Amino acid sequence: MSPLNGNRSDGSERSARPDRPGGSATPLCTAYDTALLDLDGVVYAGGAAIAHAVDALLTARDAGMRLAYVTNNALRPPDEVARHITELGVPTEPAEVINSAQAVARLISEQVPPGSRVLVIGGEGLRVALRERGLVPVESADDDPAAVVQGYGGPELPWGRFAEACYAIARGVPWYASNTDLTIPSARGIAPGNGAAVEVVRIATGAEPQVAGKPLPPMHRETVLRTGARRPLVVGDRLDTDIEGAFNGDVDSLLVLTGVTDAARLLAAEPRHRPTYVDADLRGLLTPQPEVTGGPGSGFACGGWHASVRDGVLVLDGDAGLGGGGGEGGAPMDGLRALCAAAWSAAGDGACTADAGKALSRLGL
């Protein structure tokens, strides 16, 4: 049985349902043994800690939850990432960091002879991971590489590095990518990610890389091997990597709204992009998650909010008398959970196209 099988140690099944966010009667930090945390957009953005992240992680760990950082960003090696998280205020060991560089290095090592040269288009994290697998990083297409690997190299990566990749790929050298995230959060906003750089090489060569990062199986396997989690919770900000990766691994997930995904994108999510839980930030690890009740006929309720789809529009009604912690109808996250249930139920196996603008405006989202 896989350590990431999605079942609790007491035999109960995972919480995810395709038509609504899940509920948890106990805080998530006690319902799950390990948080598999994305970094960019979840713990930090542009190097600075996201609001409430440090205190939430320390409290979750004090409650017995193990913390593991699972990131598609291949730029920095685990010891550097661990040092950064420690400096932010959460003491972290390099072994607690799992990145897509490690996943892609393992993938390459299984397909080329030991000691092979690999042309690196990216940062130091790729070089460290390749050496860990007994491979030799090189810098030129003329160094007779057995593979080309491309990972996020930061905003200063020279344009000429893409040309080196193209020269080697044109000679028939197999191409690998750590991940294909098109964007990455930064302190100034959303910036191009490794996926955008991969597209440059793809357009120039017409080739297709083998990809290791979330949401694909090589990253899931790397996480299994390095964490040994039994009741994991994937925590992320991206539907197409973090949440889809959890879906592919059949484990529960928490989406936080501190990074790439906003409320409108969440409402339009198709089944493989629907998280088990949703919360504003990492403080969601510390609390129970409220149940969403109701159904398509009567609408869906959470806290003091009631949501339904009427004539192609998502409608949100609030009743402070139902409870929910103050304000019109209660907490905004409860309103969003009710809206998710209404949108996902109406969409079925597709993406909801109902207009959500007015409903989200009422929540300030």
Positions annotated as catalytic residues are 38, 40
Give the Cα separation of 318 and 333 in Å (integer): 13
Nearest to 38 by CA among 250, 253, 182, 263: 253
Helix or strand (DSSP H, E) at 68 = strand 66-71
Nearest to 234 by CA among 221, 253, 247, 209: 253
Nearest to 78 by CA among 142, 140, 131: 131
Q: How far is CA 74 from CA 71, 136, 174, 178, 179, in A?
A: 8, 17, 19, 7, 8
Give the Cα separation of 43 and 62 in Å (integer): 17
Q: Where are the alpha helices (DSSP H) in the chain?
A: 28-31, 53-62, 78-88, 100-109, 124-132, 160-170, 194-205, 217-227, 244-249, 263-267, 332-347, 357-363
Asked if 174 and 206 count as a contact pair (C-beta separation under 8 A), the reply is no
Give the Cα separation of 132 and 129 in Å (integer): 5
Enter the DSSP assignment of 13: P
Asked if 231 and 8 count as a contact pair (C-beta separation under 8 A), the reply is yes
Q: How far is CA 26 from CA 36, 63, 135, 327, in A?
A: 19, 12, 46, 24
Nearest to 76 by CA among 17, 152, 164, 182: 152
Q: How far is CA 241 from CA 13, 215, 238, in A?
A: 23, 5, 6
